[in-house]
Amino acid sequence: MHSTAKQILRQRAYKIAQPEQTHTEANNEQAYIEFRLGQEHYAIEAKFLSEALRYRAPTPVPYLPHYLPGLVYLRGRFISLLDLAAFLQLAPTTDNHQRSLMIMSDSKMEFALVIDEVIGRCTELSQETLQPLAQGGQFSHPELIAGVTEDTLIVLDGHKLLAHPALHIYQTVESWASATANY
């Protein structure tokens, strides 16, 4: 084969082998999933969410905070539930049978968010389009807010939520035994 043809083919092969940069990556945008808690609309990075399900009643676990109502068994594994409205100290507005679960995880943590309704995938958002939370706002965990859009969509920081110390329950058998000794 002619060396010019080989060179052209080599260049094409190199170009095809390169990872394609999407429009989203080029503009430093991320995909988000929008959901509802009460009357407010929230969004969280889609990269932390694997699926959405209808609400399942959890098996209660003693001595957990009120925002961790228990565990559900899903495809061979137990997953903790996080009632996001209770965690954010919002008033519950929806009956449990009408609520939804969104499975959220990273390499260290996994749980199911209990939410009122999954709205769907948001248009991609960039950090530049987010505004900071208003000073004096009544929000129990402002450190979890990545920002607010112009149309008042509250964007949560998925990484900070997964790493929040209040969601990591470390308890040894000895500490559990001493906590339950009076029961």
Tens digits of residue pLDDT in 70-123:
999 998 999 999 999 999 998 877 677 789 999 999 998 999 999 999 998 876
Return d(Cα 79, Cα 81) in angstroms, integer: 6
Would you say 15 and 7 are in contact if contact means Cβ atoms under 8 Å apart?
no
Q: What is the pLDDT of residue 28?
A: 64
Q: What is the pLDDT of residue 9?
A: 73
Q: Domain segments of the chain: what residues?
A: 33-168
Q: Provide block-wise average pLDDT over 10 residues at a time, the chain (183 residues).
A: 73 66 55 91 94 93 91 93 92 77 93 93 79 74 89 92 86 56 49
For the chain, where are the alpha helices, taking DSSP H only? 3-17, 23-26, 84-87, 158-163, 173-179
Q: What is the pLDDT of residue 87?
A: 93
Of the options 1.10.287.950, 2.102.10.10, 1.20.1250.20, 2.40.50.180, the CATH number for the domain spanning 33-168: 2.40.50.180
Sign of CA dihedral 92, 43, 141, 172: positive
Q: Which amino acid is at 179?
A: A
Interstrand relation of 40-45 and 154-156 (parallel, antiparallel or unpaired): parallel
Q: What is the pLDDT of residue 4?
A: 79
